[in-house]
């Protein structure tokens, strides 16, 4: 007699194995989606294919009912970040999922540095969950005795643009400055201008105590609200002889004051400064900076790739070379930090050891290695000088440019929308857009949101032009 699969004695075992396979692929898809956003050879618009596969796998697990729920719950309670994230990703799709999440999160309410990667995985697993389901949990977790949990709640509210201004206002008065800083950045992303005075007080405290991580977040939050106070603080620091970092110097560059030229050149040249601080001259955008940047390429110093990127940002000159990246090398080692829901990620520019530059011909030695060639801007000073000599007449020293076009919303949106624009560049361009009339206060969207959502927001922003 024929038996249905549901009545077969091995049906439960089969379904468990099936769900386990699906969950392994969900872990892989979540990890590789992150990697694709950061891969310089993959366009952000291409990530959507992976996202479609992910949702198909989620639907397949949810279709298995209690079997799927039990395995998702078990994964969310594990000690491996990728398992936790995948399990949490699935739980809100089950009837008992939110109650289960509340129970599982109890282990995170005690301060334990070893738990912080798992707390991050918990919130990363909630990146696409319905906000109406999450709000009660977020309010509950905002009361956690563990500042790492409270900090993640504050960050998550901003990342998801959750309309919870009352909770952010409370968190801006938290006893832990790290929580205050995340709440401040989130208030900026949400465009909560009424909270600007509180952010200003917190920023002053962060600068006074030399808490630079908190200073960066609060300064960016205020900048997103249209405030010039952070840039003023940074200028005062430089005048007093104190060093400033790339993130803070960027805020001065974004303001685009022509008279800041000397300040920016001094900040970039400061001893012990970060190499990527040279990008700030590209963000500043005036053609007057080009001769100074060209001079910096002589001798190919350590910061040469960042100088080349600054030149490209102003001129749009697409002077490329090929670079070999061995399999074991992280192409993102030298990249400036990128703020995403995953935290501050250190990315590289392909300028790490184990990479070689080529005119396009692959060497026999390179062919024997496992790796790949990636395209990158050349740092050849002669090539850049030759281009500038041919095109200098198209630029005016006292005008601001972005990729060779007049600086403004049209050029910034084109940069954000371009498929080849890297994640870190889209992050910065979105912060710039918030400072332009009609596009702020607040940050329009996140550059690692679902690609379909990003296209929707881009269409809305372009309709304002």
pLDDT score for 343: 53
What's the confidence (pLDDT) of residue 333?
A: 46
Task: For residue 173, tell me if it sits in a domain.
Answer: yes
Residue ranges making up the domain that contains 463: 408-465
Whether the per-residue pLDDT at 365 is higher than 80: the answer is: no
Report the range of poorest mean pLDDT among 40-54, 327-341, 435-449.
Answer: 327-341
162 and 214 together in one domain: yes
Give the tens place of pLDDT for each residue, 19-49: 999 999 999 999 999 999 999 889 999 999 9
428 and 448 both lie in a single domain? yes
Kindly report, residue by residue over 102-143, the tens digit of the pLDDT.
999 999 999 999 999 999 999 999 999 999 999 999 999 999
Q: Output DSSP code: residue 400.
A: B
Q: Tens of pLDDT along 291-318?
A: 999 999 998 789 999 999 999 999 999 9
Query: Is 240 inside a domain boundary?
Result: no
- Look at residue 340 in the predicted model and tell me its pLDDT: 67
* Lowest mean pLDDT segment, chosen from 157-171, 260-274, 427-441, 447-461: 260-274
207-211, 285-289, 330-334: range with lowest mean pLDDT: 330-334
Radius of gyration of the chain (CA): 24
- Give the CA distances from residue 71 to residues 25, 31, 98, 119, in Å, rounded to whole numbers and listed in that order: 14, 19, 15, 19
pLDDT at residue 375 in the model = 87
- How high is the pLDDT of residue 328? 58
Let me know if 372 is exposed, middle or buried by CB neighbors in 10 A (0-12, 13-18, 19+). Answer: middle
Task: Clarify whether residues 197 and 100 are in a common domain.
Answer: no
3-class state of residue 368 by DSSP:
helix
pLDDT at 337 over 70: no
pTM for this entry: 0.90
> Which domain-ending residue is among 227, 249, 274?
227
Q: Is residue 398 part of a domain?
A: no
Residues 172, 121 share a domain: no
Residue 43's SS3 state is coil
SS3 label, residue 392: helix
Structural domains counted in the chain: 3
pLDDT band at 323 (very low <50, low <70, confident <90, very high): confident
Q: Is 325 inside any structural domain?
A: no
Q: Do 102 and 163 lie in a common domain?
A: no
Boundary (domain end) residue, out of 173, 194, 227: 227
Same domain, 122 and 2: yes
Mean pLDDT of the chain: 90
Flag whether pLDDT at 364 surpasses 50. no
Q: Within this chain, do residues 12 and 125 fall inside the same structural domain, yes or no?
A: yes
Let me know: does 260 contact 370? Beta carbons within 8 Å. Answer: no
DSSP designation for 361: P
Whether 13 maps to a domain, the answer reads: yes
pLDDT tens-place string over residues 262-287: 999 999 988 666 889 999 999 999 99
CATH of the domain at 176: 1.25.10
Q: What is the pLDDT of residue 12?
A: 77
pLDDT of residue 356: 45
> What average pLDDT does this structure show over 171-179?
97
Encoded tokens for 117: 């990667």
Q: Comparing C-alpha atoms, which of 118, 106, 91 is closest to residue 23?
A: 91
Are residues 124 and 142 part of one domain? no
Q: Which of 129, 159, 185 is the last residue of a domain?
A: 129
Same domain assignment for residues 58 and 92: yes
């Amino acid at each position: 007699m024929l038996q249905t699969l549901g009545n077969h004695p091995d049906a439960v075992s089969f379904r468990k194995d099936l769900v386990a396979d699906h969950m392994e692929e969900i872990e892989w898809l979540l990890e590789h989606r992150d990697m694709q956003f950061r891969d310089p050879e993959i366009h952000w618009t291409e990530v959507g294919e992976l996202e479609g596969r992910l949702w198909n796998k989620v639907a397949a697990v949810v279709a298995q009912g209690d079997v799927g729920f039990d395995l998702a719950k078990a994964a969310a309670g594990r000690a491996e970040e990728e398992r936790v994230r995948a399990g949490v990703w699935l739980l809100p799709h089950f009837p008992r999922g939110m109650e289960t999440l509340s129970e599982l999160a109890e282990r995170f309410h005690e301060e334990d540095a070893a738990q912080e990667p798992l707390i991050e995985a918990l919130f990363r697993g909630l990146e696409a969950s319905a906000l109406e389901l999450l709000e009660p949990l977020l309010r509950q977790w905002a009361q956690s005795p563990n500042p790492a949990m409270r900090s993640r709640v504050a960050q998550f509210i901003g990342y998801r643009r959750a309309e919870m201004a009352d909770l952010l206002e409370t968190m801006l008065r938290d006893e832990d400055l790290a929580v205050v800083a995340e709440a401040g950045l989130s208030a900026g992303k949400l465009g909560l201008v009424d909270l600007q005075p509180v952010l200003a007080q917190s920023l002053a405290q962060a600068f006074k105590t030399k808490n630079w991580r908190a200073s960066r977040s609060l300064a960016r939050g205020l900048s997103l609200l249209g405030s010039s106070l952070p840039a003023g603080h940074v200028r005062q620091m430089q005048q007093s002889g104190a060093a400033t970092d790339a993130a803070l110097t960027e805020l001065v560059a974004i303001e685009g004051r022509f008279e800041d030229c000397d300040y920016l050149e001094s900040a970039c040249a400061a001893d012990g400064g970060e190499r990527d601080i040279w990008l700030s001259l590209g963000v500043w955008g005036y053609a007057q900076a080009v001769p100074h940047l060209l001079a910096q390429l002589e001798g190919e110093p350590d910061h040469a790739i960042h100088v080349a990127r600054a030149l490209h940002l102003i001129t749009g000159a697409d002077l490329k070379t090929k670079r070999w990246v061995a399999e074991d090398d992280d192409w993102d080692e030298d990249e400036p930090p990128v703020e995403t829901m995953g935290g501050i990620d250190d990315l590289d520019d392909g300028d790490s050891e184990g990479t070689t530059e080529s005119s396009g011909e692959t060497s026999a030695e390179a062919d024997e290695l496992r790796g790949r060639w990636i395209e990158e801007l050349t740092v050849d000073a002669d090539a850049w000088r030759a281009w500038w000599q041919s095109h200098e007449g198209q630029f005016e020293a006292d005008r601001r440019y972005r990729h060779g076009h007049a600086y403004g919303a049209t050029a910034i949106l084109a940069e954000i929308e371009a498929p080849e624009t890297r994640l870190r560049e889209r992050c910065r361009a979105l912060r710039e857009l918030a400072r332009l009339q009609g596009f702020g206060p607040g940050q329009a969207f996140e550059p690692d949101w679902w690609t379909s959502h990003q296209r929707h927001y881009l269409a809305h922003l372009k309709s304002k032009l």
